Amino acid sequence: MSATETQAGANSLRSGPDGRGRFGIFGGRFVAETLMPLLLELDAAYKAAQADPEFQRELDFYLKDYVGRPSPLWLARRMTEQLGGAKIYMKREELNHTGSHKLNNVMGQILLARRMGRTRIVAETGAGQHGVATATVCALFGMKCAIYMGATDVERQKPNVFRMRLLGAEVVPVTAGAGTLKDAMNEAMRDWVTNVHDTYFLVGTVAGPHPYPQMVRDFQAVIGVETKEQIMAAEGRLPDAIVAAIGGGSNAMGIFHPFLDDPEVKLIGVEAAGCGLDSGRTAASIERGRPGVLHGNRTYLLQDEDGQITEAHSISAGLDYPGVGPEHSWLSDIGRADYVGATDQEALDAFQLCTRTEGIIPALESAHAIAYAAKLAPTMGKDQIIVVNISGRGDKDIFTVAEHLGVKL
């Protein structure tokens, strides 16, 4: 969307997806015929919006005065000292209105939905951050809003459920499957297919059928664009590594994308390893999955031999998803980005490390990125730089963390 984002040439890694919505073999539009005309309409509407300076002006206005952008790039001095290696910078997405990066994307899509004349919004949510962001803009623009959330997640993210209801959204608990993000996604798609005439499906991550992975990435790329400017201003050079947590992959794709053509910058996505990569209780789709088709796109999926999707596990509701955005699957296959895991325990430790050394309570999702950065930093020189994406704040997670620390609230 921004100048840097539109300059991608044919040889650029930033030029995807192709006309079919593919990144290599990944992506595509695997949806029922009922939805296909809507996706084509959405694609056309998005292209028209991209080409319209007025749309960009409107988005910039809301990003600045409502979301609160730009978000700072913070040099984490005490954490850097304690880890004794590379300099750690934190991209402070947790400072956005509603407390996570999710609003960047939601702001873009709600403006698009309005342009398309839609009056009702449906969305899926895991941790509730995307649901809260969606409910927020629906309140802002006076639109009807239904949020589908797995029943398990409704239970472990109560503060966000209450927030969404305060904002006027209808929160629909989904009991199918394990009652997590995957099931919420199915149910949101069912709502959309039933209410196509007035409803816009506001996808919260870089997954789903084309053009969602591209569109959500473009709206989140503001993270990486700002990071690039900020690190150049602070250090006069690009970072050696960028680390971000991977649920569906939107905060990671947003910060990675503007750096795809800068090979000196290592891009590292941290998946939720849950109880351990080989425990069978993990959400590490790239590291432990196989390519398959779910929720409208081909991507790495946790699945059994017969192609049945298996349940993911993570302490963090926002990472508890058996798939991943197709562009990440492609970046992994071509070796441009590395994907690693952080366990529940490592995330809990990093949650406390960040809180105690920086006075920043990170979301458990972001704590996975911090956990890996904390491993990586001591192996690097003091003149090297890591940027960690702090995708959200951890207020929503204090109950979960308290429980794991054996504290009754």
Partner 1 sequence: MSRIARRFATLRAQGRGALIPYVEACDPDYDTSLAILRGMPAAGADLIEVGVPFSDPSADGPTIQKAALRGLKGGASMKRVLEMVRAFREGDDGTPIILMGYTNPIEAYGPERFCMDAKAAGVDGLIVVDMPPEEADLLAAPAAANGLDIIRLVAPTTPDARLPIVFNGASGFVYYVSITGVTGTRTASTDELAAALPRLRRATDLPIAIGFGIRTPERAANAVSVADAAVVASALLNTLEGTLDADGKATAKTVPAVLEQLRGLADAVHAVSKTASK
Ligand X SMILES: Cc1ncc(COP(=O)(O)O)c(C=O)c1O
Out of 332, 346, 391, 396, which one is annotated catalytic? 391
Binders of partner 1 among residues 293 to 312 (CB under 8 A) are 293-296, 298, 301, 303, 305-310
- Could you tell me the smallest distance in angstroms from the CB atom of residue 5 to partner 1? 26
Between 21 and 362, CB nearer to ligand X: 362
CB 269 within 8 A of CB 252: yes
Judge whether 359 and 61 are in contact, CB under 8 Å.
no
Question: By beta-carbon distance, which residue lies closest to ligand X?
Answer: 392
Is 235 a known active-site residue?
Answer: no
Per CB under 6 A, residues contacting ligand X are: 100, 126-127, 129-130, 205, 245-252, 318-319, 363, 365-366, 391-392
Phi, psi of 301 (to 5 degrees): -135, 145
- 176 lies in the site for partner 1, by CB under 8 A: yes
Q: Which of 102, 182, 228, 396 is catalytic?
A: 102
CB atoms inside a 10 Å sphere around CB 233? 9
Q: What gap in Å lies between CA 260 and CA 228, rounded to an integer? A: 12
CA–CA dist 73, 234 (Å, integer): 9
Pattern 309-348, partner 1, x by CB under 8 A: xx--------------------------------------
Toward partner 1, which CB reaches closer, 4 or 119? 119
Alpha-carbon distance of 178 to 145, in angstroms, equals 24
Report whether 268 contacts 335 (CB < 8 A): no
Rule CB under 8 A: say whether 28 interacts with partner 1: yes
Q: How far is the CB of 343 from partner 1 (least distance, A)?
A: 25
Q: Closest approach of Cβ 180 to partner 1, in Å?
A: 12
C-beta closer to partner 1: residue 43 or 365? 43
The helix/strand/coil state of 267 is strand
Q: From the list 182, 228, 313, 396, which residue makes contact with partner 1 (rule: CB under 8 A)?
A: 182
Q: Distances in Å between the alpha carbon of 282 and those of 182, 184, 187, 208, 342? A: 14, 19, 23, 21, 10
Instruction: Verify whether residue 102 is a known catalytic residue.
Output: yes
Rounded to the nearest whole angstrom, what is the least distance from the CB of residue 314 to partner 1 in the complex?
A: 18
Tokens 């050394």 appear where? Answer: 357
Residue 332 interacting partner from ligand X, partner 1, none (CB closer than 5 to 8 Å by kind): none
| Alpha carbon separation from 289 to 17, 256, 329 (Å, rounded) | 22, 22, 10
Among 140, 196, 277, 398, binds partner 1 (CB under 8 A): 196
Q: Transcribe 353-374 into DSSP letters.
A: HHHHHHS--B-HHHHHHHHHHH
The reply to whether 228 belongs to the active site is no
Question: Between 143 and 363, whose beta carbon lies closer to ligand X?
Answer: 363
Task: Rank residues 62 and 148 by Cβ distance to partner 1 and give the closer one.
Answer: 148
> Which among 93, 124, 226, 327 is annotated as catalytic?
124
Which lies closer to ligand X via its Cβ, residue 250 or residue 282?
250
Q: Cite the DSSP H helix spans in 275-392.
A: 285-288, 326-333, 344-358, 364-376
Q: Which residues are catalytically annotated?
A: 102, 124, 391
